[in-house]
Amino acid sequence: DTAVSQTPKYLVTQMGNDKSIKCEQNLGHDTMYWYKQDSKKFLKIMFSYNNKELIINETVPNRFSPKSPDKAHLNLHINSLELGDSAVYFCASSQDETGDQETQYFGPGTRLLVL
Amino acid sequence: SQQGEEDPQALSIQEGENATMNCSYKTSINNLQWYRQNSGRGLVHLILIRSNEREKHSGRLRVTLDTSKKSSSLLITASRAADTASYFCATAGGGSTLGRLYFGRGTQLTVWP
């Protein structure tokens, strides 16, 4: 009964490859997010989707393409991986991005290492 | 910068002691939230305090907010070894930043048994 789940948990790949990370939430939330946490634990928002529509794109390179097939899923595809993409990627969800109910629920993270 | 900044970066205390962490930010906010992250895990929401609130309690947690100083503090009373984790503050604003949470770099708390 995991609330926000991500797969895979670990991802090790070569520079230049394309990879995807999947996220699913069973909380019935309308809004989902992708965050990147660097080696210094700095957590920064990348994207936000509300009911399958992109509402936040925080100047992320276009090698990163989020896709939301339905409001319970938000996947992240990364093309031409670079060394600097190595980080922990967190998916999160919240009830509604417009109200004051902005508590976010985080997945366990995907640890990406680009060699 | 819109993100919060926690202070201290690291805090080491004995079980039973209180732990206080501070957060400062630079822009106006709708609310401020504190999250906890255990090593190798995702973040867990602890408490949310709105801009018109000054203090909030939840169990052993006490959060204060001073919007005039743009600062918040998180107090954990009677700490336990299980409280060992990183603690992050996150600010939520309105207008063009609606829906975004801006996180600090966290305070690493270690509680020794």
A 59-88 residues with CB < 8 A to B? none
**Distance in angstroms (rounded) separating the CA atoms of residues B42 and A91:** 9
Q: What is the pLDDT of residues B34-89, one digit of tens each?
A: 999 999 889 999 999 999 999 999 999 999 999 999 999 999 999 999 999 999 99
- Which of B32, B100, B105 to mutate to probe the A interface, most A CBs <10 Å? B100
Query: In this structure, are residues A62 and A50 in contact, taking their beta carbons and an 8 Å threshold?
Result: no
The whole-angstrom distance between residue B99's C-alpha and the CA centroid of its chain comes to: 18
Query: In this structure, are residues A40 and B105 in contact, taking their beta carbons and an 8 Å threshold?
Result: yes
Q: What is the pLDDT of residues B89-99, one digit of tens each?
A: 999 876 666 66
**Distance in angstroms (rounded) separating the CA atoms of residues B92 and A98:** 11
pLDDT, average across residues B5-17: 92
Partner residue opposite B45 with nearest CB, options A56, A98, A103? A103
**Distance in angstroms (rounded) separating the CA atoms of residues B73 and B66:** 9
CA distance A112 to chain B (A): 13
Phi, psi (degrees; rounded to nearest 5) at B82? -70, -10
B57 contacts chain A (CB < 8 A): no
Which residues, listed in sequence order, are joined to residue B89 by a DSSP beta bridge? B34
Query: In this structure, are residues B33 and B25 in contact, taking their beta carbons and an 8 Å threshold?
Result: no
Question: How much is the mean pLDDT over chain A?
Answer: 90
Q: Report, in this order, helix, strand and coil percent for chain A, each rounded to 5.
A: 5, 55, 45
B105 contacts chain A (CB < 8 A): yes
Under an 8 A CB cutoff, do A48 and B88 touch?
no
The whole-angstrom distance between residue A36's C-alpha and the CA centroid of its chain comes to: 7
Under an 8 A CB cutoff, do B50 and A100 touch?
yes
pLDDT of residue B27 exceeding 90:
no
Nearest CA-CA partner of A31 in A108, A99, A88, A85: A99
pLDDT, average across residues A65-93: 94
Partner residue opposite B99 with nearest CB, options A44, A48, A108? A48
